[in-house]
Structure 1
Amino acid sequence: MTMRQPTRPAGGIPRGLSRTGSVFFSYGFRPFFLGAAIVAVGVMFLWILALTQGLAVGGSYGASAWHAHEMLFGFASAVVTGFLLTAVPNWTGRLPVSGPPLMALFGLWLAGRIVLIDPDLLTVDIAVTIDSLFLPAFLLVCAREIIAGRKWKELKVLAILALLSLANIGFHVGTLTGETTGIVQRLAVSAYIVLIMIVGGRIIPSFSRNWLNQKGQTRFPVPYNRFDAIAIIAGVMALGSWTLIPQDRLTGGVALVAGGLHAARLLRWRGHAVFAEKLLFVLHTAYAFVPLGLFTVALGQWQQLAPNAVLHVMTVGAISMMMLAVMTRATRGHTGRVLTASKITTASYVALLFAALLRPAADFLPAQGLELYAAAGLCWMLAFGLFIFEYGPMLTRVRRVV
């Protein structure tokens, strides 16, 4: 079949997969997945130089604040954008945003990355203003698509994007005023984890069931039911409590219960049965860090685990590993590749898993902290460097025929 030409609904923005123009901007996952991977490697490289050589990255914004911001709102927001620009058309039945509007959205995201490397060149106020525009703009794009498609049950995605937009602005305000940014960091992490709970609960059992069915198996993951809804509600309550009152005893108790529910939820998806296909198994592995993260919240409340360790179990383990899993699978699926993990892809998963384990370990072994930071950072760069090496050509040169 031929590619669909872009269409322009009345009062809307052009959409569609066109044979004309750059293939790179024919679908949202292409620029945003590749951009996210490049930022992941670049930010970590500069952060290691800041730690070891005193590189003044981030200027007066501060190297530590810059690193935290770029991971939470630079790298992670790009992956979410690439995923939703690809998923929302499937949910709504509308053609995807592509061409000049996609270029403009990507350009806005990229501008934020560039100006924050040395915000003093434009003044910090102008730099953070530029960066703060992207997430609200993306929220408006998604809102129009979901509302136009009348997919009211997907409005919860808009709520998550709104929280991320507010958290990003709050992070900037806290950094510039010298206030703590802990609460907005926890808010952003919680928003990403809730998105994983919702979307992961949709795609992981579905993909696993399809694969098992193709292999002639008859025991499938338990489909979404009331138990899943209870687990998600408990998870939202635990994360909300952790965001607002991380050291309260109530937080530890709710997080412990929620962690148990999500561990049981994961077991219902029969991850062990799909071990042979690493493209699938990594989704289960990434989701395992959700209950693990909730358990660490409980341990942190009982002062058995440092706050940074709790944060990195969720950010490197659950969020980043799920994002890499989605990036690899979506890229293969939407560029006509076989849905199976290559040796390079599997190596990237293993490298990121080591990063997810080594970074929190640094908080347990402060004497070896610098070495563990460096090892975790190198594993992180290897994981996303392998993604760039293998998937970069797919994202920039291979056009899907539909």
Structure 2
Amino acid sequence: MQTINMPTKRPTSPHPILNLGFRIFFLSAGIFAILSMLKWSHITFATKFAFDPLTQIMPFYWHGHEMIFGYGLALIAGFLLTAVKTWTSQPMPYGYKLLIIFLPWAFARIIYLANGIQINALTMLAGFFDLLFWLLTVFYVVKPIYKVRQKRQIGIVVKMSLLLLCQICFYVALANKDLVLMKGSLLAGFYLIIGVVLTIGRRVMPMFIERGIAEGGEVVHKVKNSDLLDRLSLFGFFAFFVCDIFLTNFDWAKWLIAVSALVVAVANLLRLKNWHLPQIWRRPLLWSLWLSFFGMTVGFVLFALAPFGLISHSLALHAVSLAGVGLMTLAMMSRVSLGHTGRSVHNPPKTVALIFICMVMAWLVRVLWGWFVPSLYFASLGIAQGFWIMAFLLFVISYAKILASPRTDGLFG
């Protein structure tokens, strides 16, 4: 007798914002990017970075933590809790299960915004929520990958696990007032996020460009990748990661830092050459991705100069972060939010170009002005903060309805 398989029950969630991970995390990360930068602006100009090491977090470290483990991990969670479904064909958390992953992240961010740079019981409570959020995220990302034995995702799994270790180290350092460990954990966390950005960017950039300039649905221009450039970028970045975190006390290591940073820069410049097509400049969703990689590449050139005192390490770090964590994530969110809600990536909101221009301006002011006119450091900082806030304000205004509405094609997701 023939067996008839009944169709599975259609998934449901209490609200479309909980249909898939990208929705709630992208929108919340956008809102948090505005609030945290407003808070950072207040801390910047109210304290001039003065702090009591016994009762307060160094302001730079507060800012670094919230950008890396607040904003950055929210973006990674939103992306992976969505992309892993495509990679593995396995269901990902939605509805109340997704809400349980999200709430610890939200509680931690509320505490950090309200508590500022103070170290107290609330800070440790925020640490509990931070670790719970990331443990849940890692579990739900690793589970389907392990189930289908998808070995090619091992790099992502390793980076997520190391990010958990960095979080633990940060809170251990905070409890012991260990500024050296605190700085190291934040720097390692930042580099791991950039590693994730480079990995995911390499995977999706060629596809996004090919489909973004497709004519009548047909791919007419192929974008090539290079295994050699992939290896150069990977090993160069790994060497830079190790040297810039663990070997900076050795004078001879500055040459290793410079060479490894240059290897990353050259490999990604050549990647950009392979990915460049004139048509991308007519499409903001494409030129924003290309420029974000270019900005990171410039940042790695600056990292190569920093060990010799030609530029500050902080300036190089912000060149990479504003491009890779600022512009890249805005570009990815803007595109993914359209594609995964059934909307055309060829018809984005009219504000997208302005969103990306604001972030490019933040990069130019923070990096170039900060480099060439150091006497106006605080002015450049304030203007860059303003452009960052404007970029994310426009994103939230433009995409809130899209992210909170059902898919246009009637599917669940």
TM-score of the superposed pair, with normalisation by structure 1: 0.89
Q: 1:345 aligns with which of 352, 357, 362?
A: 352
Q: Is the 8 A contact 2:233 2:263 kept in 1?
A: no
Q: Secondary structure at the match of 1:397?
A: coil
In 1, the alpha carbon distance for the partners of 2:214 and 2:207 equals: 11
Is the counterpart of residue 285 in structure 1 residue 287 in structure 2?
A: no
In 2, the alpha carbon distance for the partners of 1:327 and 1:240 equals: 30
Q: 1:238 aligns with which of 215, 220, 240?
A: 240
What residue number does 2:267 align with?
261
Q: Quick check: 197-206 or 371-380, which moved more?
A: 197-206
Q: 1:393 aligns with which of 394, 401, 412?
A: 401
Relative distance call for 1:301 and 1:171 in structure 2 (3 A) is: same
Is the counterpart of residue 85 in structure 1 residue 81 in structure 2?
A: yes
What residue number does 1:69 align with?
65
**Structure 2 residues not aligned, in runs of 5+:** 1-6
Amino acid at match of 2:31: I
Q: Secondary structure at the match of 2:309?
A: coil
Q: Give identity over the alignment, percent.
A: 24
**Structure 1 residues not aligned, in runs of 5+:** 7-16
How much does 1:365 deviate?
Answer: 2.4
How much does 1:194 deviate?
Answer: 1.5
What residue number does 1:43 align with?
36
Q: Quick check: 365-374 or 172-181, which moved more?
A: 172-181
How much does 1:252 deviate?
Answer: 0.6
Q: Deviations 1:296-352 (Å, cap 9, x if unpaired)?
A: 110111211101101111111122211111110010111122213433111010001
Q: Secondary structure at the match of 2:404?
A: helix
In 1, the alpha carbon distance for the partners of 2:91 and 2:136 equals: 19
Relative distance call for 1:57 and 1:84 in structure 2 (3 A) is: farther
Q: Secondary structure at the match of 1:336?
A: coil
Is the counterpart of residue 179 in structure 1 residue 179 in structure 2?
A: yes
Q: Is the 8 A contact 1:231 1:265 kept in 2?
A: no
Q: 1:225 aligns with which of 224, 227, 244?
A: 227
Q: Is the 8 A contact 2:257 2:304 kept in 1?
A: yes
In 2, the alpha carbon distance for the partners of 1:267 and 1:116 equals: 41
What residue number does 2:20 align with?
27
How much does 1:175 deviate?
Answer: 3.6
Q: Is the 8 A contact 2:355 2:391 kept in 1?
A: yes
Q: Deviations 1:13-44 (Å, cap 9, x if unpaired)?
A: xxxx42x4211111101110011011100011
In 2, the alpha carbon distance for the partners of 1:115 and 1:165 equals: 20
Q: Is the 8 A contact 1:190 1:243 kept in 2?
A: no
Relative distance call for 1:209 and 1:57 in structure 2 (3 A) is: farther
Q: Is the 8 A contact 2:272 2:293 kept in 1?
A: yes
What residue number does 1:334 align with?
340
In 1, the alpha carbon distance for the partners of 2:89 and 2:376 equals: 52
Q: 2:382 aligns with which of 349, 374, 382?
A: 374
Amino acid at match of 1:97: P
In 1, the alpha carbon distance for the partners of 2:57 and 2:8 equals: 45
Q: Quick check: 119-128 or 134-143, which moved more?
A: 119-128
Relative distance call for 1:299 and 1:42 in structure 2 (3 A) is: same
Q: Is the 8 A contact 1:212 1:220 kept in 2?
A: no
Q: What is the total number of aligned residue pairs between the two structures?
A: 389
Q: Deviations 1:79-135 (Å, cap 9, x if unpaired)?
A: 111000110000000122101110000001111112223166744333323323222
In 1, the alpha carbon distance for the partners of 2:145 and 2:51 equals: 38
In 2, the alpha carbon distance for the partners of 1:298 and 1:45 equals: 32
Q: Is the 8 A contact 1:289 1:317 kept in 2?
A: yes
Q: Quick check: 41-50 or 175-184, which moved more?
A: 175-184
What residue number does 2:202 align with?
201
Amino acid at match of 1:140: F
Amino acid at match of 2:144: E
Q: Is the 8 A contact 2:145 2:153 kept in 1?
A: yes
Amino acid at match of 1:191: L
What residue number does 2:3 align with?
none
Is the counterpart of residue 297 in structure 1 residue 303 in structure 2?
A: yes
What residue number does 1:12 align with?
none
Q: Quick check: 46-55 or 150-159, which moved more?
A: 46-55
